[in-house]
Structure 1
């Protein structure tokens, strides 16, 4: 049992001192570093540190996109400033305590945004947002979700290159890439970050931009949470007055024709205003359909694109082989999990065209860490997403999703259309995300990580998520 006395109430001659730069002295009877850290933070951030059975703890510990992501931290810190984050990091470093950081809590990898028996830093209260006088940039806190940002900018007829789902958190998407409806015009969401405020592993607060900490500026564009805790993003805004959006669904008999048309569109489209998102929904063995969501960044009523019957073989094959591998795996899921427990079973494809990659380079000449090469042609990423309502099937469903992803990858390899790139926002826990960026990018990320985090705090003490390596 840990007991703590604050401000020298305990006799310093009898007990060792937990002393540091964070605030008042804390006299400790425990050698448990986790208890030491939680109570140390409670002494120095008393209104921002929470323990089990408190209302705030209960809310924040369970505030995730999926119940499968909920873990059991020992205490939660909810900072309201970069200085609070810096104090927390210094306490973690001082006590060598495991921790996790949560922004929106949407990342699907268990342990990426919470922790068992460690400190959970939640960024919920870092929610400042402010547009510049010229309306060209906006300051966005990591506690916000994309719906918050879009709603704030709406009266200004501005938008940002951000997430396509409103309840997704800001920080994870911006640090991993960022699929956006505007990506064919402006590249990835991360390409549109012009400055970061970051708390480094030693607790230093720095502003990172193209001309200050330029190497870190590059690494934060796709390197994930391996370099520090971002406490503010300065984003470029874009004009947005009216858009067109809609969708079409085709049944099983027309799916291959749709894949042919999609392949043709992806390879030939030159219109950066259009964005498409194909997704296959398979709620039960008898129902197979593909829905195509359209977005067009214009108030005109012109059709976003036209397609012809000729088919680029590689892209058509990419759609077809992954679809067939997915379908072949479905009976196993349906046999193991009753239909009433399955809310949604789907596969999403994300075309990443040359147009997208060219826009990325034009918007962000510094480049990013993803390692995508427009000279290799168009890319097609995919993700298997299952929603279910009974925790009894957690292990079965997650194992099936992982196994099906492997089978889809194997099918792509056999067809000769596989590429090692994995988008971090949709990657499975077993994926080698940074290996998929290519050797050059991975080594550069590792070098930068070691430069700014020589003691490897974000690699060794923050165990969740995708790691660069020691």
Structure 2
């Protein structure tokens, strides 16, 4: 199970965004203690200082150990949109830097935590209200998907949520979200029909196709730019049961060739809207293996993707909750030191195998480091998937290639903090090589999936077209006219200024 725990860590659609670097601000900001005092004066029952159980629990629930090492002066745990509104007003009036966290499942340091300042911990806002009559669910940003699926189980329904239990609703949906049903329904965000959101002046608004429709569009790739979303209203679909399996194989050329041949057929299958298939290549404890992850929404078991005898196999027919919880979630490590890099390409087995080989070369001097694992994940953005995103900011960028695409993620873990710099440098070097090589071969797509991106990757510059990026800037200027969130909301990706070079921010939650 230890091996499977390491491998399955790649399956989340998870996790909240990523970014490049916080823009330097000349604005004066108050100290963390002054900010927490200001919060405590008006919200004494929901502000928690260092060392309290509530504060410590927030830190220990961050997935990334690098995130856990940051030390906000206090955390504040709102119970309602009204609480969030007051928090935003206090932050603005007192010029206080803050971060926002729901599941806290992002990888890089500072993505949803902060030194000094304060963290808005949304986990108390964990509403899950299902309406089978309307075929909708109303979700608080602080719920995790295990809680959501558990509540949905008696209703025999599901939604386009994450594939890992601990991922938070807020970050997942504000960065896109890859779901079991994405091949038919697009990103998780494309299944949100209404947002309740707190603007930078503290106003609580609704955003949907009729009301604040421009904000509704932008929130589908929100980052930390527009609003703190306090409720997501989503469509649901009938799902009494589904089927899921994870299979681990020895890493051999015949086996990987079989896996990628089947994967490429899946990527280009125009008819199949019920299957989700991913392939992973993993190095762990000196051993290389290949892994397939397969699901079917109609509970039909799929054939294994290789004729090789598996090292390990787990499968289940059950509710979304049970398939995630029993086939995937219990096999995961709860925390890790980690670094990620993502790119998008056309399906190309030769490139995928060359990427694995280059990973061996670049990480050769690090392979004996304690707890070292290296994983590559390959997941599809089919044409039908892209069409499901037609109403969001990423659609025109994804549509440019007029092709089925593959989301390629390199994901590395280790144990010793002394190895952080070397591991992060190697991850970046491999990512840089991959982009240059894929572009040289004519298979690179510019799209960078926000929820998997490294902090230095230029997500907005490449994941939306220049015209749509200008539109996002106009919407930002309308709803955050004085730049309150730009100045004080730390972490996450920020919309780059027009004419700026490179990425300029980080993603939410």
How would you bin the TM-score normalised by the shorter chain? 0.7 to 0.9
The C-alpha deviation readout for 1:21-79, integer Å capped at 9, x for no partner, is: xxxxxxxxxx9454332101101000111111222212213320011112111121111
Residues 1:434 and 2:463 aligned together = no
- Which piece of structure 1 moves more, 291-300 or 430-439? 291-300
Residues 1:42 and 2:40 aligned together = yes
Distance in 2, Cα, partners of 1:372 & 1:304 = 30
> What is the deviation of 1:356?
1.1
Distance in 1, Cα, partners of 2:81 & 2:180 = 31
Which residue matches 2:61? 63
> What is the deviation of 1:157?
0.2
Which residue matches 2:507? none
Which residue matches 1:455? 482
The C-alpha deviation readout for 1:85-119, integer Å capped at 9, x for no partner, is: 11110011001111110111011232120111211
Which residue matches 2:252? 252
TM-score, L = length of structure 2 = 0.79
> What is the deviation of 1:132?
2.0
> What is the deviation of 1:334?
4.2
Which residue matches 1:403? 429
> What is the deviation of 1:284?
4.8
Distance in 2, Cα, partners of 1:279 & 1:337 = 19
Residues 1:418 and 2:444 aligned together = yes
Which residue matches 2:354? 324
> Is residue 184–residue 388 contact of structure 2 (8 Å, CA) maintained in 1?
yes
> What is the deviation of 1:126?
0.5
List alignment gaps of at least 5 residues for structure 2.
Answer: 1-28, 307-344, 498-509
Let me know the Cα RMSD of the aligned residues. 2.2
Which residue matches 1:20? none
Distance in 1, Cα, partners of 2:61 & 2:484 = 25
> Is residue 50–residue 57 contact of structure 1 (8 Å, CA) maintained in 2?
yes
Residues 1:215 and 2:214 aligned together = yes
> Is residue 146–residue 170 contact of structure 1 (8 Å, CA) maintained in 2?
yes
Which residue matches 1:3? none
Residues 1:161 and 2:154 aligned together = no
Which residue matches 2:124? 125
- Which piece of structure 1 moves more, 417-426 or 54-63? 54-63
Distance in 1, Cα, partners of 2:31 & 2:369 = 46
> Is residue 249–residue 292 contact of structure 1 (8 Å, CA) maintained in 2?
yes
The C-alpha deviation readout for 1:325-363, integer Å capped at 9, x for no partner, is: 332232443423525422x320111210012123344xx
Bigger Rg, structure 1 or 2: 1
> Alpha carbons of 1:201 and 1:294: their partners in 2 closer, same or farther (altered >3 Å)?
same
Which residue matches 1:142? 141
Distance in 1, Cα, partners of 2:154 & 2:269 = 36
Which residue matches 2:471? 444
The partner residue of 1:347 within 376, 386, 391 is 376
The C-alpha deviation readout for 1:427-454, integer Å capped at 9, x for no partner, is: 0111000011221221111111111001
Residues 1:290 and 2:285 aligned together = no
For the residue of structure 2 that corresponds to 1:282, the secondary structure is strand
Which residue matches 2:191? 192
Residues 1:92 and 2:91 aligned together = yes
> Is residue 163–residue 180 contact of structure 2 (8 Å, CA) maintained in 1?
yes
> Is residue 401–residue 445 contact of structure 2 (8 Å, CA) maintained in 1?
no
Q: Superposed, which structure 2 residues align to 1:353-372 within 5 Å?
A: 353-361=382-390, 366-370=391-395, 371-372=397-398
- Which piece of structure 1 moves more, 156-165 or 351-360? 351-360
> Is residue 199–residue 226 contact of structure 2 (8 Å, CA) maintained in 1?
yes
Distance in 1, Cα, partners of 2:129 & 2:347 = 44
Distance in 1, Cα, partners of 2:124 & 2:72 = 19
List alignment gaps of at least 5 residues for structure 1.
Answer: 1-30, 307-313
The count of aligned residue pairs is: 426
> Alpha carbons of 1:302 and 1:396: their partners in 2 closer, same or farther (altered >3 Å)?
closer
> Is residue 186–residue 359 contact of structure 1 (8 Å, CA) maintained in 2?
yes
Which of the pair has the greater relative contact order for Cα pairs under 8 Å at 6+ separation? 2
Which residue matches 1:107? 106
Distance in 1, Cα, partners of 2:304 & 2:362 = 39
